[in-house]
Amino acid sequence: MTLLDKFAPLAELRGALAASGKVPSVATPMDAIHSATEGVIDGRTVLLAGTNNYLGLTFDPECRAAAIKAVDELGTGTTGSRMASGNYAGHRALEREFAEAFGWPAAIVFSTGYQANLGAISALAGQGEFLMVDADSHASIHDACRLSMATTIRFRHNDPENLARRLERLGEEAKKTLVVVESLYSVLGDRAPLTELVEVTRQHGAMIIVDEAHSFGMYGPKGVGICAELGLLDRVDFVVGTFSKSLGGVGGFCVSRHPDFELLRLGSRPYIFTASPPPPVIAAARAALSRLLRGDDLRAQLWKNIGRFNAAVTRLGYRTGSKDPGPVTALVFGERQDAIAHWQGLLDAGIYTNLMVPPATPAGLNIVRISLSAAHTDAQISRMIEAFEQLAARLRPAA
């Protein structure tokens, strides 16, 4: 027996996937990236339809210029945490800009979106307190619960009534509870019933944090998310987001309507003990945020692409993970081999998507996930639709 023996089931899964065709053993290697929508895989130019690059800002001229300028003036990294030598003027400016975008008094920038959840949630709820978490939450949320000293309770996915019952059981202790949900879930692309979840939370005197990783940039006034779209910013306590989707970079943030949130800097271990984001990353994020806030043209193009693509796959009989079209379109298959065949067929047609199979998916689902972008042209959307038409005729998708 060794410490590595427990990975045997994963090795078996890897072997099964590899035997199915060209499915990579770990992850699809990107040999080169030419633009927000084109790259090279295995020596072939492919259309990128699985990158979460929702507004296409990875190659935006303003963002690239800002990053290059920061490298020239400030170097490639800070080599220190925010609590030491890594607290640059750009970090503080970006925090002010996030807070202003939400109309809230406080914001903290983290080194990754994963860390934003890890750092905020684990510090907000501690020993003798409670975390009430949607069962289908992202891994970063579940890991934050493990890091926290709070008692973790899970409620059924997108079920306000189940949340209410669990809060009721806590009685007065509900006032020491942080409810944790996402606004748009990344695997199936389904929206949370946020208005109802917020109402239940407030009825029981708890606080709520909403992860807007996959909705920030696309929804609501100025694109700041579904909470803003639904008019909930005066009732939600904290919002978490990431740079790695709409902002086209890497990093994360948490904003709050509570001024005392600033004190979290003194109690969040992931914030205190991690090197701060490099200057070019922060500079690009600031440029991307500015572009996002004035980016109604980008959002309009994205939603045009979403409407056209989702109408096509629905017409072709594919089962999608959500009734509400959004930037994530998850095609759900009953059998793993059906999902693999579609993923492989799309790659053969020069279109890169995401293959997701158990145990990485909820409810044991087999999924091909497509991420649309404002950078996708009409011709590229037509190419995706044509590929699915050919696959539907050949493979007959599950009803």
Q: Is 182 a catalytic residue?
A: yes
* Beta-bridge partners for 48: 352
Q: How many CB atoms lie within 10 A of CB 106?
A: 21
- Longest Cα–Cα distance of the chain, Å, equals 61
Q: Is 211 a catalytic residue?
A: yes
Residue type, 201: T
Q: Is 140 a catalytic residue?
A: no
Q: How many CB atoms lie within 10 A of CB 151?
A: 17
Among the listed residues 91, 138, 204, 342, the single catalytic one is 138
**Nearest-CA neighbor of 174 among 161, 164, 183, 182?**
164
Q: What one-character DSSP code corresponds to residue 4?
A: T
Q: Which tokens go with 298?
A: 């980008």
Distance CA 230, CA 61 (A): 32
Nearest 10 degrees: Cα torsion 197, 198, 200, 206:
120
Q: Is 186 a catalytic residue?
A: yes
Among the listed residues 157, 204, 214, 376, the single catalytic one is 214
Q: Which tokens go with 385?
A: 């639709």
Helix ranges, 51-208 (H): 61-74, 89-102, 113-124, 139-147, 160-170, 194-203
Among the listed residues 186, 215, 244, 276, the single catalytic one is 186
Contact 51, 371 (CB under 8 A): yes
Among the listed residues 134, 136, 182, 338, the single catalytic one is 182
Q: Is 52 a catalytic residue?
A: yes
Strands (E), 5-71: 32-33, 38-41, 44-48
Q: What one-character DSSP code corresponds to residue 57?
A: G
Residue type, 115: Q
Distance CA 91, CA 285 (A): 10
DSSP 238-281: EEEEESSSTT-SS-EEEEES-GGGGGGGGT-HHHHTSBPPPHHH
Among the listed residues 245, 246, 342, 376, the single catalytic one is 245
Q: How far is the first Cα of the chain from the last one, in angstroms, to the nearest whole number?
A: 45
* Beta-bridge partners for 110: 252
Please tell me the total number of residues recorded for the chain in this structure.
399
Q: Is 100 a catalytic residue?
A: no
Among the listed residues 190, 211, 237, 338, the single catalytic one is 211
* Active site amino acids: 52, 138, 182, 186, 211, 214, 245
